[in-house]
Amino acid sequence: MNYLVLLRHGESQWNLENRFTGWVDVDLSAKGETEAKEAGTVLKNKGLKFDLMFTSVLKRAMRTAEIACTEAGYPAIPVERNMALNERHYGALQGLNKKETAEKYGDEQVHIWRRSYDVPPPSDVTDLNPEGFTESLKETAARTIPYYQEKIEQSVKDGKNVLIVAHGNSLRSLVMHLDNLSKAEVLELNIPTGNPLVYEFDNGAIIKKYYLK
């Protein structure tokens, strides 16, 4: 038996400030650092150890991985960082306060931008998004799932223990793939910060799934 663990980064400063973050490279809040430490503690207490680790290239994920691994007392783990695991890009919404955005555009429209499967946020050129880029969850999955299949899946099938530290939407994409969720089902999925999600495998097949906290 081996396992794959998905860990969403601890609370970021912009999570705390209720702002759309996306690809903006903000750091952890004090609470986020504590969540990362608590994740490391629970991984240690449950006796989980890893052969490989994968993270996005955003500091809130990289720092969560570093803090959690230090807290767990792990030796150096081979790590690959790739933007394929980055958070969904929120286009022109990046940097905006979520409450103020809802007041401007209406709750229904903001809910569609945030929770629909294939409707991306608006794509305007802003200081935080000079190229006018934006992504729906469908487009996020189109980079996250192939990366998992090409870079991670075989290691899991080979019996390696793997830790992925990433973001709410990139991890939702992976859970959609692992659990074979429908488009409707994945929209109801919410992955909490700092709580390791464990998939146990036997001969390459998932036999159990659970959160550690």
Q: Which residues are catalytic?
A: 9, 87
DSSP labels for 15-56? HHTTB--TT----B-HHHHHHHHHHHHHHHHTT---SEEEE-
CA distance 89 to 86: 8
> Token pair of 17, please?
């400030």
150 burial type by CB count under 10 A (0-12 exposed, 13-18 middle, 19+ buried): exposed
104, 20 contact by CB (below 8 A): no
What is the torsional sign of CA 13, 175, 5, 195? positive
Phi, psi of 96 (to 5 degrees): -85, 145
Kindly report the number of other CB atoms within 10 A of residue 65's CB atom.
26
CA distance 141 to 125: 23
Q: What is the 3-state secondary structure (H, E, C) of 193-212?
A: CCCCEEEEEECCEEEEEEEC
Strands (DSSP E) found in 52-128: 52-55, 79-81
